[in-house]
Amino acid sequence: MSLFEQTAGKLMVALDYPSAEQARQLIERLEGIPCYMKVGMQLFYSAGPDFVKELKSRGYSVFLDLKMHDIPNTVKGGAHSITRLGVDMFNVHAAGGKKMMVAAKEGVLDALQEDSSLTMPIVIGVTQLTSTNQETLNEEIGIPGTVEQAVLSYASVTKEAGLDGVVASPLEVQAIKGRCGQNFVTVTPGIRPAGSEKGDQSRTLTPEEAIRQGTNYIVVGRPITAAPDPRSAAEQIIEEMKKAW
Ligand SMILES: O=c1ccn([C@@H]2O[C@H](COP(=O)(O)O)[C@@H](O)[C@H]2O)c(=O)[nH]1
């Protein structure tokens, strides 16, 4: 089975909480729902590696979303430590460039060589954050061109560096797959079920629309975590995803 087939159309729940205890409460409510757990900065900086290990021991697939962006040697060390946690996926900022991303992969390979019980994580590059739009890119940051062009440049350098895929909005999935191939993994936040609050997200699609674009993973945070009944919100999202399969 190809990487695309193994990963197509999966749900990742963003555990954006200030403490392990609050994250555990959501996890209990989602018991049995097929999803990855995404640990981002807020939870990792408070609950640390132990919480990641706890998720793994409970049998969850884990995406550690720390978006590393530093000099190659530092990122290599970070990737080495992250791989030792046994996560299934982690990311770096594609804006750090090819050498930095190659170094991340080296850190992974070193860890695997030291401990053969570890499995190879999927390593992806963050392109243009889904909270940003055309105005942010051109007027605030001063980068010319369209958001899609920027995303495709980041995706291309990520692929050249030998990583497995990218984080982007679901709006760019088809262009990314067209440029980098079907097997190049897309992880897409910026998911908003019809009628839900966009909040700080700019480039959004519904779960069904995102799956129709051919994305591998959708990332959903507040539409589940801030819902009055998170379990029912997650179930509805999965039902919506199924319509597109
Ligand atoms: O471009 C990006 C990269 C990462 N994220 C992360 O995804 C979730 C989205 O949460 P929502 O509550 O559904 O908006 C969050 O953890 C972000 O850090 C992203 O949104 N965009």
Residue 3 has pLDDT above 60, yes or no: no
Nearest alpha carbon to residue 13 among 129, 30, 2, 197:
30
User: Is the CB of 167 within 6 Å of ligand 1?
Assistant: yes
Where do the structural domains in the chain lie, given as residue ranges?
3-243
User: Is the CB of 67 within 6 Å of ligand 1?
Assistant: no
Determine whether domain 3-243 maps to CATH 3.20.20.70: yes
pLDDT tens digit sequence for 77-104: 999 999 999 999 999 999 999 999 999 9
User: Is the CB of 202 within 6 Å of ligand 1?
Assistant: no
Q: What is the Cα–Cα distance from 70 to 19, expressed in whole angstroms? A: 26
Nearest alpha carbon to residue 72 among 93, 43, 90:
93
Phi, psi torsion values for 237, nearest 5 degrees? -65, -45
Q: Output the pTM of the full model.
A: 0.97
Query: What counts of helices (H) and strands (E) characterise the chain?
Result: 11, 8
Catalytic (active site) residue 67: yes
User: Is the CB of 221 within 6 Å of ligand 1?
Assistant: yes
pLDDT tens digit sequence for 7-48: 566 999 999 999 999 999 999 999 999 999 999 999 999 999
* Identified catalytic residue from 10, 50, 56, 67: 67
At 20, list the tokens: 């392990």
Q: What is the Cα–Cα distance from 183 to 35, expressed in whole angstroms? A: 21
Local structure of residue 183 (DSSP, 8 states) = T
* Identified catalytic residue from 10, 50, 53, 65: 65
Atom of ligand 1 nearest to the CA of 220: 13
pLDDT tens digit sequence for 171-212: 999 999 999 999 999 999 999 999 999 999 999 999 999 999
